[in-house]
Amino acid sequence: MEAILLVGGRGTRLRPLTINTPKPMLPVAGVPFTAHQLAQAHDAGVDRVILGTSYRAEVFEQYFGAGERLGLDLVYRTEDEPLGTGGGIRHAAQALRSGPEDPVLVFNGDVLSGLDIPALLQAHEDTDADVSLYLTRVADPRAFGLVPTSDDGAVIEFREKPTTPEEIVTDQINAGCYVFKRRVIDEIPTGRPVSVERETFPGLLERGRRLTGFVDDGYWLDLGTPLSFVQGSADLVLGEVRSSAVPGPPGERLLLADARVADSAVVGGGTVVGARSTVGADAVLNASVIMDGVEIGPGATITGSVIATGAVIGAGATLTGCVVAEGARVGVDNELIDGARVWPEVSIPDHAIRFSSDR
């Protein structure tokens, strides 16, 4: 069984974390996010994966090599200019060995899910679809691509990011994983950017192809924003969603090699403390991602935040819903709140920022 994993995006919504590291290589529950997706694919019977890379392509091969550690045969197909989601699938497909009628799994590289992959493959075979799409239901579908289906699961139309209430015709959205018949991938044009959501799928429908929706109401999260990124990591650590790549049993916290946490510190809510990081006395860490070599001072309070490699958080600082990039320093007693992003190597002096309670 072969799969294509799309990992070539720029991850702009996660800047500045993605300035040096491509989004799928950011650590989630202790390992790069791509490691979870590869483990899930392997556990579902996939044995060969083509990674469609573009932005910072070299980082993937440096980490995963030919895939021996994962029990997978990994192949890299790099786009010199990003070709978009559809163009990326087409470009990667040149390395496939599957025959024209064989099923090929395609994954977006930023979706964390509990999808029953074998059930999706079975549905694809049962309905003899040209493409089967994994769909999930969300309360507010405005930021997504809607995919209404008929009673027998046939896709009726594709509607990208609806704005008016009339346009919200369903709560089913494209969840970022598909099964294609290989010959259908070969129909995508080469040599230019193509969006699979906006061009390929609507075009296939127009040409009368059989597209089937497979609704799975299990865990689903798009890790594209800092808020969902920390949530995904915490859920993996807590065991809300399973991945055999998490380096430890499910629990309140995950401490990586040589992490040092003071006895009086409270670390929970699915927080990861990275390798060689230190957490000072009385610090309180909740649902956060602390990467490697980070120093957290005594009495600091960090909630729902990402602290990147080598950053320093001063004593008594309070961070809620923030991103602190590599090598940055937040001085003592600062208070940073929702959405604050500190750029790499920036240093915020001690006692520089506080939010008044009457804002």
Contact status: 17 vs ligand GTP (CB under 6 A): no
Which one among 1, 9, 267, 287 touches ligand GTP, defined by CB under 6 A? 9
CA distance 161 to 152: 24
Would you say 212 and 132 are in contact if contact means Cβ atoms under 8 Å apart? yes
- Angle among Cα 260, 22, 135 to the nearest 5 degrees reads 105
Residue 228's φ and ψ, nearest 5 degrees, are: -75, -30
Which one among 21, 108, 172, 243 touches ligand GTP, defined by CB under 6 A? 108
Give the H/E segment covering residue 18: none
Contact status: 291 vs ligand GTP (CB under 6 A): no
Which one among 39, 83, 177, 290 touches ligand GTP, defined by CB under 6 A? 83
DSSP character string of 145-169? EE--B-TT-BB---EES--SGGG--
Contact status: 323 vs ligand GTP (CB under 6 A): no
Which position has the token pair 């192809």?
209
Which one among 32, 86, 88, 232 touches ligand GTP, defined by CB under 6 A? 88
- Number of residues interacting with ligand GTP: please give it, by CB under 6 A: 21
CA distance 196 to 204: 10
Contact status: 8 vs ligand GTP (CB under 6 A): yes
Task: Report the nearest approach of ligand GTP to the CB of residue 88 (Å).
Answer: 3
Find all residues with CB under 8 Å of 358, minimum gap 6, and list them.
none
Q: Which is nearer to ligand GTP, 10 or 183 (CB)?
A: 10
Contact status: 235 vs ligand GTP (CB under 6 A): no
Which one among 1, 7, 31, 245 touches ligand GTP, defined by CB under 6 A? 7
Contact status: 6 vs ligand GTP (CB under 6 A): yes
Contact status: 109 vs ligand GTP (CB under 6 A): yes
Cβ burial of 141 (10 Å; 0-12, 13-18, 19+) is buried
Which position has the token pair 């709560």?
171
Task: Report the nearest approach of ligand GTP to the CB of residue 74 (Å).
Answer: 15
Which one among 52, 153, 270, 314 touches ligand GTP, defined by CB under 6 A? 52
Binding site for ligand GTP (CB under 6 A): 6-13, 23, 52, 54, 79, 82-85, 88, 108-110, 224
